[in-house]
Amino acid sequence: MRYPKYFKPGQKILIRPLVHRDDDRQETLTLYFRDGDESFFDLEIPYRIREGEDYPFTPQMPCELLSESFGLGLRLTGRFHAQQGRDRIRVEVNPDLEIYQRRQYPRIDIAAGLRYTKGRGELRTFRGQWEKNLRLLEGEAEFSRLRPFPRCQVNLSCSGIRIPIRPPVEVADLCLLFLEIAEGAKPICALAEVVWVGDAADQDRRTAGMRFIDILASDQKRIERLVREHLSASAGSTPEAKS
């Protein structure tokens, strides 16, 4: 398999560990292709990782790698081989490249309750805090003590979110999010990374597009169901649908 045909320096690659402590947890990291051949990829980590904040890769950890080229999705599997400095890893890749039609996730604009904490270079700490919050949300008593969430307009899909955020904000910054998509229901807690930063949303905020990198699969399904219901209701309210 001639992987250099499909993977170029600087190309974004999503890596997902294939070993989970909890099957409901969805973990994804963004990395960038730097070098490689048919047997290995050298991938750069963009999170400006501080000492002790590295992702806990383990020897021979199986993983899935996802990317795109020529408008098509790319998928292959591999195993973590070695850390090469603080911001680069080597992955042994398998000869199982799949090329497929990429799925488009529908998005909606809604008013939602939102709280977030933003940081840079704190991947391990933020993941630990996300896991702690999941445990807290399992208890009704802890959930009931949460203060009301400020509401704002967000653009949402099951893969990510666009929100107004206070600067400074840069690509690869991390955000720990609490998102209330239904009044009275448990909020969704997710860890997200900034993938792009737009123009100012108002005088003191900028628009930032984020992708979820740690989220429960059940919470993704809640978002997917909300998006589907919202789009269905919008279609049903058109003049053509009423006639």
* Same domain assignment for residues 82 and 186: no
pLDDT at 23: 67
Q: What is the DSSP letter of 98?
A: E
pTM > 0.85: yes
* Same domain assignment for residues 77 and 126: no
Largest Cα–Cα separation, the chain: 64
Please say if the pLDDT value at position 241 is more than 70: no
Is residue 219 exposed (0-12), middle (13-18) or buried (19+ Cβ within 10 Å)? buried
* Same domain assignment for residues 194 and 78: no
* Same domain assignment for residues 91 and 115: no
Per-residue pLDDT reduced to its tens digit, 111-154: 999 999 999 888 999 999 999 999 888 876 566 667 778 999 99
* Same domain assignment for residues 116 and 152: yes
* Same domain assignment for residues 143 and 225: yes
Please say if the pLDDT value at position 173 is more than 90: yes
Angle made by CA atoms 51, 52, 55, in degrees to the nearest 5: 110
What's the CATH code of the domain at 160? 2.40.10.220
* Same domain assignment for residues 134 and 174: yes
Q: Tell me if 195 is assigned to some domain.
A: yes
Q: Of 207, 189, 224, 5, which is closest to residue 106 (Cα–Cα)?
A: 224
Please say if the pLDDT value at position 44 is more than 50: yes
What's the CATH code of the domain at 22? 2.30.110.10
Domain count, the chain: 2
* Same domain assignment for residues 231 and 156: yes
Q: Tell me if 2 is assigned to some domain.
A: no
Q: Tell me if 241 is assigned to some domain.
A: no
* Same domain assignment for residues 74 and 187: no
Is residue 112 exposed (0-12), middle (13-18) or buried (19+ Cβ within 10 Å)? buried
**Residue-averaged pLDDT of the chain:** 89
Q: Of 100, 115, 101, 218, which is closest to residue 158 (Cα–Cα)?
A: 218
Is residue 125 exposed (0-12), middle (13-18) or buried (19+ Cβ within 10 Å)? middle
* Same domain assignment for residues 31 and 129: no
The span from the CA of 50 to the CA of 52, in Å, is 6
Per-residue pLDDT reduced to its tens digit, 70-123: 889 999 999 999 998 888 999 999 999 999 998 788 999 999 999 999 998 889
